[in-house]
């Protein structure tokens, strides 16, 4: 197993890793069996090393960047929502939130 996948599974104990048909398959993200990630063997997956999928939030947390990214919805590129900023309070900690036009993990 690649060190990046090993770290991902360690950071997300409910997730399951396998190698099928030349693809890395990661299942049970957010403790949800309906979500599966597939990556071709040999693909650059170093970004996975610091990723946590918090089960209580439909989000992606990057430990290295200290950034929590919520999975919201597809938004038109000219939407007024893209300019919106707000604070999110979780377990008495304040997070500054904003929308990005494009985000790739």
Average pLDDT over residues 73-83: 76
Q: Give how far Cα 66 sits from Cα of 17, 18, 46, 95, 96, Å.
A: 24, 28, 16, 10, 11
Query: For the chain, what percent of residues have pLDDT higher than 90?
Result: 21
Q: Does 99 or 48 have the greater pLDDT score? A: 48
pTM comes to: 0.68
Model confidence over 31-53: pLDDT tens digits?
988 888 888 888 888 989 999 99
Give residue 80's pLDDT.
83
Bridge partners, residue 94, by sequence: 89
Average pLDDT over residues 47-67: 90
Distance CA(68)–CA(21), nearest Å, equals 32
């Amino acid at each position: 197993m690649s060190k990046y996948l090993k770290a991902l599974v360690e950071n997300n104990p409910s997730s399951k890793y396998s190698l099928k048909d030349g693809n890395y398959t990661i299942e049970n993200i957010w403790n949800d069996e309906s979500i599966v990630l597939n990556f071709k063997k040999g693909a650059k997956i170093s970004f996975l090393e610091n990723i946590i999928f918090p089960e209580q939030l439909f989000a992606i947390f990057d430990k290295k960047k200290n950034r929590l990214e919520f999975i919201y919805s597809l938004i038109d590129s000219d939407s007024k929502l893209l300019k919106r900023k707000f604070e999110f309070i979780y377990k008495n900690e304040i997070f500054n939130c904003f929308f990005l036009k494009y985000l790739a993990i």
